[in-house]
């Protein structure tokens, strides 16, 4: 009998907890937490504890299937790869490279996402590559890129528990990101203030100092209303604004429209609640914003994210420990899939396919000509 322990990453949420697979005679039989992991600190949620069970599940596909005569039939990997290669080649030859589209995955590793996006662009010659972030966190990439130049968390997960104020919007953190939820609870135990904005009374509300039960779809109104009060109260970082931001006067003029009365009518939050939330956030030395798909998987997702960024910029809560704007990803590698360029408009590192300098650089390294027009999004592929 041979027993081994293999270090890996939990396949579920964006916490990215490390864990050990217990392998007995080449069969994964259990999960053991990793005590040195900075995220989990040797703890796992119920999802992580059972993360291995799909591996040997009876419903799991173990061999390729090829459709023949209207039915799927088992095939060898060699046969399946030959069929795929021949079909891709014939489609490209007959209809052009843009007749082919690729869907990568936020469940895949960085290396796998990079390999597929490179294959799409160099072998097939198309920018038609996307993945599930299109429906959940593409707005984070666009919103945070325009504000900070990077579509990622501005701070690390361990920093959360040292924040003086935590503003959670659109995130059912305790249930969907339990190990980050525990950091929020730790911060509360250390004296941090907690603001929760959500149409539903989620579990985290029981820990909140301020609960803003907004009407669905009014996130921008709420965030702009908070900034309106901060401007009126003078709780803004003028030096940071002058040195680190642009377009403040036009921004200020727009925010002045979002009076407490407007927020009450549109978002359903009365003036006293709005003021309490704004002052709680504005007076904190270190305030952090945490959000998830409650504000990104939305028709106004990009504007929601930009409003979160504006709130942090207005108060100078960027670029310091335990501050910032921190998106929580739904899958375990949404961030990596985006970083690696599994997107129709970006190469790896968020270098635009429309940027000639970036395109020239990739063409030199890959020794091939690359398409200059952005490809189809996941939604456009199926239209």
Element (H, E) at 272: helix 271-283
pLDDT of residue 135: 86
Of the pLDDT bands very low, low, confident and very high (cuts 50, 70, 90), residue 366 is very high
DSSP state of 68: E
**Does 232 lie in the same domain as 189?**
yes
- What was the pLDDT predicted at 179? 96
* Same-domain pairing of 97 and 173: no
How many domains does the chain contain in total? Answer: 3
Tell me: do 230 and 178 sit in the same domain: yes
pLDDT category of residue 215 using cuts at 50, 70 and 90 = very high
Residues 228 and 115 in one domain: no
188 with 290, same domain?
yes
- On whether both 159 and 124 belong to a single domain, the answer is no
106 and 42 in a common domain:
no
Q: How far apart are CA 334 and CA 113, in angstroms?
A: 10
Percentage of the chain surpassing pLDDT 90?
96
Position 57 in a domain? no
Give me the domain span that covers residue 204: 138-327
**Residue 286 confidence (pLDDT) above 90:** yes
CB atoms within 10 A of CB 144: 24
| pLDDT score of 165 | 99
Does a structural domain hold residue 162?
A: yes
Dihedral over alpha carbons 361, 367, 373, 379 (to 10 degrees):
-110
Condensed to tens digits (0 to 9), the pLDDT of residues 301-334 reads: 999 999 999 999 999 999 999 999 999 998 999 9
Instruction: Let me know whether 99 and 223 are in one domain.
Output: no
Question: What is the secondary structure of 196-207 as a DSSP string?
Answer: EE-SS--GGGGG
Query: How far is residue 163's CA from residue 185's CA, in Å, rounded to a whole number?
Result: 11
Residue 48 CA to residue 176 CA, distance in Å, equals: 12
Q: If you write DSSP's letter for every residue of 208-269 in order, what string do you get?
A: -SEEE-PPTT-HHHHHHHHHHHHHHHT-S-HHHHHHH-S-HHHHHHHHTT--HHHHHHHH--
> Distance between CA atoms of 330 and 293, rounded to whole angstroms?
7
**Residue 23 confidence (pLDDT):** 96
Cα dihedral 208, 212, 213, 218 sign: negative
144 & 117 share domain: no
Q: Is residue 142 domain-shared with residue 129, that is, in the same domain?
A: no
């Amino acid at each position: 009998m041979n027993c081994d322990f293999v270090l890996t990453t939990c396949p579920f949420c964006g916490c990215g907890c490390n864990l050990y697979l217990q392998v007995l005679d080449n069969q994964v039989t259990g999960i053991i937490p990793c005590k040195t992991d900075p995220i989990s600190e040797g703890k796992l949620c119920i999802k992580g504890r059972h993360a291995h069970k799909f591996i040997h599940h009876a419903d799991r596909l173990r061999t390729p299937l090829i459709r023949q005569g209207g039915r799927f039939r088992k095939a060898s990997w060699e046969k399946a790869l030959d069929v795929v290669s021949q079909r891709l080649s014939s489609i490209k030859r007959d209809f052009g490279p843009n007749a082919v589209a690729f869907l990568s995955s936020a469940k895949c590793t960085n290396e796998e996402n990079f390999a597929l996006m490179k294959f799409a662009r160099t072998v097939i010659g198309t920018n038609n590559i996307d993945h599930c972030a299109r429906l959940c966190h593409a707005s984070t990439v666009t919103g945070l890129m325009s504000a900070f130049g990077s579509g990622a968390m501005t701070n690390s997960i361990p920093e959360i528990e040292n924040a003086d104020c935590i503003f959670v919007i659109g995130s059912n953190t305790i249930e969907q990101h339990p190990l980050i939820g525990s950091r929020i609870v730790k911060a509360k135990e250390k004296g941090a203030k907690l603001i929760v904005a959500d149409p539903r009374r989620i579990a985290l509300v029981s820990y909140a100092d301020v609960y803003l039960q907004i009407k669905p779809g009014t996130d921008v109104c709420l965030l702009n209303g908070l900034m309106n009060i901060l401007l009126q109260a003078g709780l803004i970082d003028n030096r940071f604004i002058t040195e680190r931001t642009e377009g403040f006067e036009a921004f200020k003029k727009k925010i002045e429209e979002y009076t407490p009365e407007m927020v009450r009518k549109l978002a359903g939050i009365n003036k006293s609640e709005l003021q309490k939330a704004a002052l709680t956030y504005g007076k904190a030395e270190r305030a952090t914003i945490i959000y998830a798909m409650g504000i990104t998987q939305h028709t106004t997702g990009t504007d929601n994210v930009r409003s979160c960024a504006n709130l942090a910029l207005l108060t100078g809560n960027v670029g310091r420990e335990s501050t910032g704007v921190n998106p929580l990803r739904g899958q375990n590698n949404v961030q990596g899939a985006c970083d690696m360029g599994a997107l129709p408009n970006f190469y790896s590192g968020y270098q635009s396919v429309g940027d000639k300098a970036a395109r020239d650089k990739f063409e030199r390294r890959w020794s091939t000509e690359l398409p200059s027009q952005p490809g189809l999004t996941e939604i456009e592929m199926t239209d």
